[in-house]
Amino acid sequence: MSGQKHLLDVRGLKEYFPVKSGMLNKMLLKAVDDVSFTIDEGETLGLVGESGCGKTTVGRTLLYLYKPTAGEVYFDGQLVTEKNIGDFRKDMQIVFQDPYSSLNPRMTVADIIGEPLDIHKLYSSKKERADRIAELLTLVGLNSEHANRYAHEFSGGQRQRIGIARALAVNPRFIVCDEPVSALDVSIQAQIINTFEDLQQKLGIAYLFIAHDLLVVQHMSRRIAVMYLGRIVEIGPAGDIIGSPVHPYTESLISAIPMPDPETARHKHRIILEGDVPSPLRMPKGCPFRTRCRYATKECEESRPELKEIAPDRFVACHNR
């Protein structure tokens, strides 16, 4: 896109899962298909889309937790490959969606947070390790006396903080936050989101912030990318996307945001999507959204729209916009 150096530059990322259909047939499930985006130092890119559209897969594939089918990931200008990913593990981290299954039930909090320290040998004495663990616990708003407890003794919100502390242990420059609040109560969500923001201000970490709640993403991010069935359909500055969505899918997502003020809500026109979500195994020809799109035309059936720049830093994949 532009010539300036980005912290993270993802180009043409694809992740196809082989899935069995029937006895011997194997089909490819295109969970992520040709996704490109960039993230700058200390910036947050929000990634939204409905369940199953491939958000988690994007986050995991760019960290090489899944082997990408195709595409390149550049971190700080360097190409990341399967061979050298070990060198980047200290810089790129992830916070998981499910605070229950992401912490090993057989390890104490100190061991969970201490594991990245052990792996990268980030301390010279036992005391230094314990001090660093206590420091991390305080940083995410937990009591450092909890270090010797087991994860199952904590609430969901507390566990998510432990997961954040673990990701922070190696001083990463970039964290994939995979729906870090969707499993939590609304009141706790706000606390965790504030924790993320504080950390960004203090430590200058860049986030890929995945969520399906647009309000949360808008609050967190400078830019937003909207995904539909494995592709990015619209990407641009957060305010513009929320204020004047261009892609029909984004439009319907935004019309579905619950309004805090009943007066505005009454005047709001809500677009209800009709038609079914196509199976990711049998993607329709042409525009993947056309089965549910109000503006679909003949052209949409024939060719797939590519991302076009419609305004500075604003890209949309639609024929009729």
Ligand X SMILES: Nc1ncnc2c1ncn2[C@@H]1O[C@H](COP(=O)(O)OP(=O)(O)OP(=O)(O)O)[C@@H](O)[C@H]1O
Is 212 one of the binding residues for ligand X (CB under 6 A)? yes
CA distance 91 to 226: 25
Query: Where does residue 59 fall: left (phi above 0), alpha (psi -120 to 50 degrees), or beta otherwise?
Result: alpha
Total number of residues binding ligand X (CB under 6 A)? Answer: 16
295, interface contact from ligand SF4, another protein, ligand X, none, CB < 5-8 Å by kind: ligand SF4
Residues 54-73 touching ligand X, rule: CB under 6 A, are 54-57
Which of 174, 227, 300, 315 is close enough to bind ligand SF4 by CB under 6 A? Answer: 300
CA distance 69 to 295: 33
**CB closer to another protein out of 149 and 321:** 149
Residues 290-309 touching another protein, rule: CB under 8 A, are none
Residue 20 token pair: 């069995």
Is 150 one of the binding residues for another protein (CB under 8 A)? yes
- Nearest residue to 177 via CA among 155, 199, 158: 199
Is 76 one of the binding residues for another protein (CB under 8 A)? no
Which of 5, 152, 270, 308 is close enough to bind another protein by CB under 8 A? Answer: 152
Residue 121 token pair: 């040998």
248, interface contact from another protein, ligand SF4, ligand X, none, CB < 5-8 Å by kind: ligand SF4
CA distance 36 to 232: 8
Residues 160-189 touching ligand X, rule: CB under 6 A, are 179
CA distances from 292 to 131, 153, 245, 253, 273 (A): 55, 45, 17, 13, 6
Residues in contact with ligand X, shown as a per-residue x/- string from 269 to 288 under the rule CB under 6 A: -----------x--------
Which of 56, 102, 189, 221 is close enough to bind Mg ion by CB under 5 A? Answer: 56
Is 19 one of the binding residues for another protein (CB under 8 A)? no
CA distance 43 to 38: 10
Q: Give the nearest distance from C-beta 85 to Mg ion in angstroms.
A: 21
Burial of 290 (0-12, 13-18, 19+ CB in 10 A): buried
What DSSP line would sit under 56-109, residue for residue? HHHHHHHTTSS--SEEEEEETTEEE-TTTHHHHTTTEEEE-S-TTTTS-TTSBH
The answer to whether 144 touches 83, Cβ cutoff 8 Å, is: no
Q: Give the nearest distance from C-beta 178 to ligand X in angstroms.
A: 7
Is 80 one of the binding residues for another protein (CB under 8 A)? no
Residue whose tokens read 């505005």: 264
List interacting residues with ligand X (CB under 6 A): 17, 19, 29, 31, 49, 51-57, 97, 179, 212, 280
List interacting residues with another protein (CB under 8 A): 60, 63, 65, 86, 89-90, 92-94, 96-98, 101-107, 115-116, 119-120, 148-150, 152-153, 163, 166, 170
